[in-house]
Each structure stands twice: as C-alpha cells, then as structure tokens.
Chains A and B, each alone.
Chain A
Amino acid sequence: MTSQAAGSLALPLDTTQSDKLAAAVDGLTPAQLTWVSGYAAGLAAAGSPGDAVLIPAADSSPAAAPQDTLTILYGSQTGHGESVARGLKDAAAAKGFSVKLQSLADYKPSALKRERLVSFVISTHGEGDPPDDAELFHEFLLSAKASKLDGLRYAVFALGDSSYVNFCQTGREFDGRLEELGAERLLPIVECDIEFAAEAEAWSGDIVERLPDLMTAASSAPRLRAVETAAQYDRQRPFTATVLTNQKITGGRSGKDVRHIELSLADSGLSYEPGDSLAVLADNPPQLVADLLQHFGFAEDTPVDADDGQKSLRAALSEEFEITAPSLGFLKAWAARAESEELNRLLGPDRQSELAEFFATHQIIDIVRAYPAEVAADEFTGMLRRLAPRAYSIASSHAANPDEVHLTVAVVRYEAFGHSHEGAASTYLADRLGEGDTVQVFVEKNPRFRLPADDNAPVIMIGPGTGVAPFRAFVEERAERGAGGDNWLFFGERSMSEDFLYQLEWQRFLKQGILTRLDVAFSRDQAEKIYVQQRLRERGREVYEWIENGAVLYVCGDSKRMAPDVNAALEEILAEHGGLSAADAAAKLKELRRAGRYQKDVY
C-alpha cells in the first residue's frame, strides 16, 4: 500500500528519492501523513528547504510587542478578504517579520489604541454593511466610544463589488474614521472590485516593502506550521464538475422555477463543509449576447481584447464579460457616453436608494436600450467588468454525499421593458446544462456559517425560499453524524402545494426524528400574507426557550427584506419573553451574534 502510494507520487522523483520517501512515511497514521504533506507544502511555499524553518508562528502565536509586530485585522464574509489578509501575512512572515492575523470578530475593539501598525482588510455586504464578523468592531469604531488613535499607522484594503451602490462602503468608513481619530494613513485605501487578486498582491508587496522602516525584524523562534493541503480550486483554477441531476423542484403551477442541481466531485479531492457555498463560472445567455450584438449592429467576429489575448466579440460577450448585472463603473461610463441627464442625475449625491432600485431592476441591455449611444465594440467591452462567479449555498452534506455537491437554484427569468430577461448563472445551470455536461466550480468557504461543534446543541434554522439550501446540508450532516441535538426549521414560500422545496425530504426527516420541528409560512395560501417572521413570533415562547437552552440561530436567504424582518422578530421575542427592554433585547441579540450563536448567510 505504502510503496504504491509513493510510486504514484514518484513522477518528479528519481527512484532513490522515491524509496527514501516511501521509507520515511511508512507506517504513519493518516493524520501524520496529512501533517507531513503540510510540512512539505510549507517547505515549498517558503521557496527553498533551507528557509522553511524561518516560517514563523501561526495565528495563535503570542502577540509580540506591538511596535515589533504587524497586526492584520480582517472582516470577511465569504472568505475573499480573509484570503487577502492571509496573503499579506504569509508575505510578511516569509520575510521574517512578526505578524499577528486576527478576524475582527475575535478582536477587542478597545485594544486598537495600543496598536502601532495595522493593516485592515475589509469587505462590504448587505447594502453597504460590514461583513458579519466586523459588525461590532465597525459599530464601535464609528461610535463616540472610539478613542484617539494618535500612535497608529494603518492601511485599508477594501473589497466590494461595483454593481452595488455602496461600493466598498465599509472600507471607506474605516479609512475615513481612522484618519478622523488621528491615525496616520500609510497607504491610500485600495478599493477593489470582484477582481482583487492582482491588487491584493501589489498591496501586500507595498506593505512588506515598507516594513523594515516601520519595525524591527522579528527574531522569535521559528515554528513549523502545516498549510492546508486539501485540493485547492479557485477562480483561476476551477474544478470541472459533471452535472448528475438538473431537476425542477417546484410544481407545475408554481410561479417559480427552482432547480435541484447535483454535481459530481469524483476524483476532485475537493471538500466542503455544511455552510459553504459553491461558486459557479457560467456563460451568459446566448439570446442576450445575440440581442446585444444586434442592438449595436456589431459583427460577432469583431476581435476584442480579452484576458487571454484577443477573442471574437461573441465569445467575449459569452464568456468574458458581465453583461447582465450592471456595475457602477459601467453606469458611469455609459451615462457619460450617452450624455444622459437622467443617468447622471441618478449618479448624483443623495440618490442612493433610487440607484439601488435601478440596479435591482435593470440589466445592461435595458440601459443601452433606454439611453442609446453609438459605441465601438471595444469601447463597449471596455466598460464591462469581467464575468463574476455566482455563489450558491451548498445544499448537501459532503459526508452524506461523498462524491457530490448539491445546489438549490432559483432561476432568474422575468419580463421587463417589453422583453424577456434571464439571469446569467441561474439559467446557465437550469437551461444550458444537462446531465453529463460539465461546469466549472470552486468552493467558497464560509467559516462563519457552521453547525455547532457540539452535536447536542439545538439549532434553529430560518431559511425561506432558496435560503433553505444550507439547512438541507445541515440536517443531512447531523443525521450522518448521529448528532443528538434538536433541529428546528422555519421555511417559507408562496404555496404549499407548488413551492414547498424538498417537501418529501423534510417529511421523512421529521418522521425519522432527525428534524425535531418544522414550521412553515406559505404567503399565498390564505388571504393575508404570512412570512416566516410571523411564525417565529407565534412560536416566540418556544423559540425563546430554545435560545435559553443554547440553541444556535441560523438565517439564510434574502438580505433585503427577510433577514431584517427576522432580526426584528428575534429582538421582539427576546424582549417579550425575556422581559427585556427593546434596547436590551437588541443588545442581547448582538451578543448572541458575537458569540456565534446567531449566524447569517444572506444575499
């Protein structure tokens, strides 16, 4: 077995090396083997074996004297910012500097005044809100409680998405407020769009370059660390998965088309945990590409610049560029090009909510149709962003489905402005992929949306619509583990008979006792609209008791209306049944959030 393993590893090794390796690993346990592979990867990451021993301690290393240490604080929802922060840490550590990396969730805000050198990596979520892990820090920083930060030098790396109105809002707030509090800005804020890899590298380079002047090199005892060895797939190196199932799971009379998609992960080495998302690299709707070509009168074979050299316009519009959801950059460019008073007014100050509404209801083609302008093909593509991967909450437990990953996809198809419209990725998955076809994907880790480590802890899952997806993974996982904790699901949709996603599975889980309770709200099954938050209120006493008994709360799904409404309902429940004032209830809910007892995955 062992020699076979070494043999299959042997490609880049000569026979002697391969024999030595086989002998060295003979008899090791799987855990030891994993460690060794990490060790080897660590050696590789450090450039040469000789340098490897200089890789300093991991996140948990005792804090060095502040002036000797670069503190990296990050707030990240889907892991992008965290990866940027780790990149900086690795770059600095590789040069032998002492680094401390911490999530803002674990960082005591009042400690900031003792810091000398901090790099912030922070994304923006919701509608210009901080990511969950930065919520409390953000609140503190912007409040009157924040003290002067005269001795601090800082840099901010902001992540965002320019198709949102409040682009990099949280980063900007950090940057402005730190300055206001007397801290010294080391580097101008970097505002990054969904393409952030190159900018992140440049930014860490800039910082690391300055470190020698900013602090003395660390000389703490080097410690080896294992790097993560699970097969790494990302946007640049996605995994090509085969579609196993593409099944509509709403009834024939439903107004919605929701798909259950199963993909094969066979031979990928890819792993995921309940709570993670899967990013999908999709092609744009062919009809939309054709409509754009036709609208502008572009020839489909017009060569245009793309990432990997030149491409035909048709290919570029299909694969390279974002042509459905508009970005702020596009809107600005188009407003200028079309010399549109109306668009420029929309882009003016104090029009945030109108602009948000505009983004939510307009695709790029709607804009170019409504505000016409003559452009050349490359000028048009120059205004476009690169096609972004779409995230889908993983709906399966890996343990229960070893070689598969499942998604629950609501297909975006609608009529507007006299034309039919499609969403790019959701229709790609639903309409353009059949069984046996392949799709490029990678896992987006979501460490802040996790089942409790304690299998006996109760959980309350609130997931209307496709928000139920991760809870299918949760429940499957708990069943697989034989977890004893109670599981309570709140689900909502329009109609029981047509839109009860995974109805048969929930019924089975209930019967088997794996799901302890299931409360449903079907908004259109009676005269008055009923949503999950109402069911929560109706069950307020029991919800409260569950929380008191240590239940972890999870919310997934719509961020615009559902999540705030559910939040309000939870505050009310804490107030009413805990005998708290509204303010205390809100504080208690915040505390639950900080303690990881109230987790959200909303979009």
Chain B
Amino acid sequence: MSKAPLSDVERIKSASRHLRGTLADSLVDPLTGAIAVDDTQLSKFHGIYQQDDRDLRSERKRARLEPAYSFMIRARVPAGVCTPEQWLNMDRVANLHANGTIRLTTRQAFQLHGVIKRNLKASIAGINEAMMDTIAACGDVNRNVMAPALPALSAVHRQVQADAERLSDHLTPATRAYHEIWLDGEKLDTAEQEPIYGDTYLPRKFKTAFVVPPQNDVDIYAQDLGFIAIVEGGQLVGYNLSVGGGMGMSHGEPETFPRLADVLGFLTPAQLLPVAEAVVTTQRDYGDRSNRKHARLKYTIEGRGIEWFRREVETRAGIKLGDERPFAFAGNGDVYGWQQDDSGRWHYLLFVENGRIVDSGDRRLMTGLREIASRHRGEFRLTPNQNLVVSSVDPADKAGVEELLREYGIENRSQASLLRLNAMACVALPTCALAMAESERYLPDLVTRLERLLAESGLADVPITIRMTGCPNGCARPYIAEIGLVGKGPGRYNLYLGAGHAGQRLGAMLLDNANEEEIVGALQPLFERFAAERRHDEHFGDYLIRGGLIREVRAGREFHAATAA
C-alpha cells in the first residue's frame, strides 16, 4: 500500500458517518446558497453536485455577492430504462425546481441543473416519488450501470437489462443516510454496515456497463468494468469480462491518460455478481487512496499488471474465467429512427442534440415528450449517446407517436447531417465547475461548419464520430471519437484524430491548444484526402492510421507519446 498520506476526500468520507456529514445543517444555513465545503464531496454520493453559474462569477464577485450557487442533480436510471410516469415526474421536477430543462447524459442518466439549495430537498423527494433515486449517481461508488439502448434481439436484450439492474442493485450503497436527509426517513443508528464498500467506499468513481455487439453504443472500452454479451444460437450464454477502461486525464500530466479496457475472459450469467464484486473489492483494497488523479481502476491495473489483477479477481470470486469468446463491434454511435424488435414492437430512436431536452423555436422537445409520455404505454430508453428511444411502441400506437413527433417538430430532422447525428458534447459551461472551454453551447456551431466541408468533399454519407469536451476529463468520451476536441482554454481545444469508429482505438493528438480556424484548417485537407483515397466503407479514423497521417495509439500509456505522424 502507498505510504503517501490519504487524500482529503478520504478523511471526509471516513468522518462522514456513512455519507451524512453535516449535510442536514448545510441545507438550512440561510446565509449562503452553498453547502459546507466538506459536504460538497459527500453530496455527490447522493447524486448532487454543487455548481455555480460561471457566466456570472466575476460579475457577482464585484457585486460582493457569493457565486450564483445551484445544484445539479443526477438521477440514476439503471440500463437507461424509465417509465412514462417517471418521465413525466422528471419533467415536473425540472419545471418546478430546476431550470426547466432535462439533460440526458452520456451514461444514460438524467440531470437537472440550476436547482437552488432551498429547493433541493423537494426536488430529491419529487424524483423519488416516481420510484427513481439519485443515490450513487455520483461519488466514489459504482455509478449508473449502462446497457444497450436498442433491443435488436429483445429476448437477449431483456436478459442483459435484467442483469444490469441486478448488478446495479447489488452495488448500491447500503447507507440509510440518503433516506434520512432527503426523504425524512427515520434516523438509524450509524453503526450500519456497508457490506461491499466498507466505511470509506471506493478510492474513486467506478463505472460499469453491459453491451450487446455489434453496436458498442455504451463504449465498453471506456468502462472500469464491462460485460460484453456473448450470444450463441440466439441465446445469451454469458459475458466477456472487460476491466480497466477510463477516459479522464489532466493536461500537462502525462502520468494521467485515457485507457481502453482489457478483455480478461469469459464468465457465465451465474458468475456475474461474484465476479463484479471481486473486481469492485479488489479496487477498493488496492486502489490509490492518496492521489485522486491516480485512483481509478485503470491505474491500479497499469501499476500491478493485468495478470495480477486476473488472479486477484479469480481468487476473490472463487471461479476461473473462461477464454475470451469472439465478438465484433461496428460502431459506437446510435442507430436512429424506427426499428422493430423480434416481438413486433417498435422503437424510435430520437435525436436529442447534446442530450438537452428543451423547447427551442419550432422544436419543442420538452413539451412534445411530455405529450408523448402522457400517452405512451411502453417505456423510454436513454441512450449512451445522449439520445432517447421511445421504446416498446405497440404497432397500433406507432402512427400516433409519429403524429406527435411531427406536431412538436422533433422527429429526426432530415437536415441533421450524419456528422451531427454522430456528435456528442459534454455539458461544460456555464454549470460545470471543471470546464476550461465551451462544449455543449459551441459544438453545434462547429458541426455546422464542418458538415459543410464534408458535403463539399462528397463525404456527407460517411458517418464520422465527433465529440467535444470542455476539459480533459472526457465526459463525452472524446478520445474514442474519430474527431476528438478537448477544451484547454476559452476557444481553445486539443484536436485528437485516428480513433476507431467503434471506440476500439484511442485517437492521437494532432493540434495542441488550437482555435477554430486552426482546427478547421487542419481538418479540411484531411477530409479532402480521405474523400480522394477512401477505400470502400473505410472509416475516417482507420484511413488516417492506414495513410500514416496519424500515429496509432496502441495503449493508454502511449497516449502522450510524441504527437501525430
């Protein structure tokens, strides 16, 4: 174990009496819109981030006012599935207490922004009214468990979804603090146990996903823990286990890097919980608790070696992993529009630009989805690409849904280019405290410029993934997009190219700290060459590597090696 002192967050967790801290007092302090500094760490475990409107920061400071504090609430949606009632409830809370928008996240969860402190409790209680909660949506625990959004094979899909939900339940913290603080639950004695996590939980956030090839929509390689469904003869026989993926890094700190997960071997559905728990507890016991920038599972594995890790997991789970089974991925984006599953039900995958549910002009997403939800008898699925599926529509109801999509101007617009449909931006400014540059508010404009260039080069029909984040944390998984843009300063981005279209290869940096002109200037000639030299069905990222235009990154630890080709 490391001899360096524990990080401050470890002190806070351990003194928190299972995540209680002084949250209850913080909530009623009338002199500030903020909560106590230590509590800002604990609130995350309850799905709540303290933020402030960064657009107003300097103005308010000059006005001798504290920052315009508000809170972001993240509601867990295991496997991304929610009922129409839950949707309507989220819509109600968003309008009543938040900024009137809903944000679908890159991990298939809901976020509400702009909730002020005195409305927090009512918001959390409101969310819980529809049997949805926010516990462990953030914090040093297992986060929202992801599962594929499109049920190509619905029987298999249902099983995978059930496994995802089962695992999600299994890894939810046991503390009653959440109920006490937010739901006026009875105060229990704090000698309660956290059977899996222990008193100080995990060293860092932990992310789990399930995937059903060939679509890698969940980006399995970006996850700490992944289960790749192996379907043989139409039956789910088990999963390939993947471990040690993650995106986050820090500019200028090469010891931090994005890393793709390793596939360790095969397991049966029955071995799922023991193996998952073994991975979690190994990370709990061996993860770095002194340096939070080095605390994710990916660094634990890098440090001790993948074979050590396999042995540790097998010992703890009491099983031996089978050999990895073959599988192949086609892409990490979403497949838009109507699809029918093997039971005859219909699913409409709806494009939601950057996951923001809001009425804007003729495109009245918020209202339209409220209308759909109030009639819909199936369910909704949040996709890992920030989109939404109106799912399980009875054939008899399909026309009605189509009608509403048209009426509110929200059907996937024919004019949305392939680039835009494959674009993703993280939230960034003005709410994200860590943003260094714009993202959600800016990517749509950049896409408008780039889609024109692509059309001019005759590439309008080629799907290219483009993702932007406001900082190197990588919330929109930009390092595995064919065009990755990572904020470095206002109006400045690092440009990464050459990633795999299915998220199976990391990109490499082409430009450092570039502005829009430099970015467009670099991409234009590459688009032109790609158009001229493209092989049949070749993806942009693959072409750049084949052509030697970009260095191929074979492993996360090579990510920062000398740039470009």
Contact = CB atoms under 8 A, between A and B. Distances in A.
Contact of B65 (A500, A510, A518): A500
A522 B31 CA distance: 10
B31 to A, nearest CB: 6
Contacts of B62: 247
Q: Considering residues B33, B60, B61, B65, which has the most beta carbons from chain A within 10 angstroms of its beta carbon?
A: B65
Contacts of A502: 64
A411 to B, nearest CB: 14
Contacts of B118: 525-526
Contact of B31 (A498, A501, A506): A506
Q: Considering residues A498, A502, A504, A525, which has the most beta carbons from chain B within 10 angstroms of its beta carbon?
A: A504
Nearest to A506: B31
A518 B31 contact: yes
Contacts of A251: 56, 60, 63, 65, 68
A480 interface: no
Interface string B25-62: 00000111100000000000000000000001001111
Interface string B3-33: 0000000000000000000000000001111
B63 A496 contact: no
B59 A252 contact: yes
Interface residues of B, number: 17
Interface in B207-244: none
A455 to B, nearest CB: 25
B116 interface: yes
Nearest to A526: B118
Contact of A507 (B32, B59, B60, B63): B32
A248 interface: yes
A24 to B, nearest CB: 50
A407 B121 CA distance: 38
A260 B68 CA distance: 19
A482 B33 CA distance: 30
Is chain B's binding surface mostly helix, strand, loop or mixed?
loop
A496 B33 contact: yes
A249 B31 contact: no
Contacts of B30: 496, 519-520, 522
Contacts of B302: none
B31 A504 contact: no
Contacts of A506: 31
A7 B8 CA distance: 65
B31 A507 contact: yes
Contacts of B56: 251-252
Contact of B63 (A247, A518, A519, A526): A247
A505 interface: yes
Nearest to B118: A525
A310 interface: no
Contacts of B66: 500, 503-504, 507
Given A496-B30, A520-B31, A504 B59 contact: no
Nearest to B116: A497
Contact of A250 (B31, B32, B63, B116): B63
Contacts of A522: 30
B36 to A, nearest CB: 12
A506 to B, nearest CB: 7
Interface residues of A, number: 25
Contacts of A503: 31-32, 64-66
A507 B30 CA distance: 11
Contacts of B69: 497
Contacts of A520: 30-31
Interface in A389-435: none
Interface in B115-137: 116, 118
A249 B65 contact: yes
Nearest to A518: B31
A451 to B, nearest CB: 23
Nearest to A496: B33
Contacts of A505: 64
Interface in A242-282: 247-252, 260
Contacts of B63: 247-251
A526 B118 CA distance: 9
A432 to B, nearest CB: 20
Interface string A298-339: 000000000000000000000000000000000000000000
Contacts of B59: 252
Interface in A211-249: 247-249
A525 B69 CA distance: 15
Nearest to A245: B62
A518 B31 CA distance: 8
Contact of A504 (B64, B68, B116): B64
Contacts of B68: 251, 497
Contacts of A525: 118
Given A252-B56, A525-B118, A497 B33 contact: yes
Nearest to B62: A247
B454 to A, nearest CB: 40
Contacts of A504: 61, 64-66
Contacts of A249: 63-65
Interface string A483-500: 000000000000011101
A507 B67 CA distance: 13
Contacts of A500: 65-66
A250 B61 CA distance: 11
Contacts of A497: 33, 65, 68-69, 116
Interface string B62-89: 1111101100000000000000000000
Nearest to B65: A503
Contact of B64 (A252, A260, A510, A519): A260
Interface string B458-483: 00000000000000000000000000
B345 to A, nearest CB: 45
B38 to A, nearest CB: 15
Nearest to A525: B118
Contacts of B116: 497
Contacts of A498: 65
A535 to B, nearest CB: 9
Q: Considering residues A260, A500, A501, A507, which has the most beta carbons from chain B within 10 angstroms of its beta carbon?
A: A500
Contacts of A496: 30, 33
A510 B31 CA distance: 10
Nearest to B34: A507
A500 B60 CA distance: 11
Nearest to A260: B64
Nearest to B30: A520
A260 B31 CA distance: 20
Contacts of A248: 63
Contacts of A507: 31-32, 66
Nearest to B56: A252
A497 B53 CA distance: 12
Nearest to B68: A497
A519 B29 CA distance: 10
A518 B118 CA distance: 18
A248 B60 CA distance: 9
B113 to A, nearest CB: 15
A244 to B, nearest CB: 14
A502 B60 CA distance: 11
Nearest to B70: A497
B118 to A, nearest CB: 7
B416 to A, nearest CB: 34
A356 to B, nearest CB: 34
A248 B59 CA distance: 9
Contacts of B60: 251
A506 B65 CA distance: 10
A260 B62 CA distance: 10
Interface of B: 30-33, 56, 59-66, 68-69, 116, 118
Given A504-B66, A507-B32, 5 more contacts: A250-B65, A496-B30, A500-B66, A503-B64, A505-B64
In order of increasing CB-CB distance, the 3 nearest A-B pairs are A249-B63, A504-B64, A503-B65
15 contacts: A247-B63, A252-B56, A496-B30, A497-B68, A497-B116, A498-B65, A501-B64, A502-B64, A503-B32, A503-B64, A503-B65, A503-B66, A504-B64, A520-B30, A525-B118
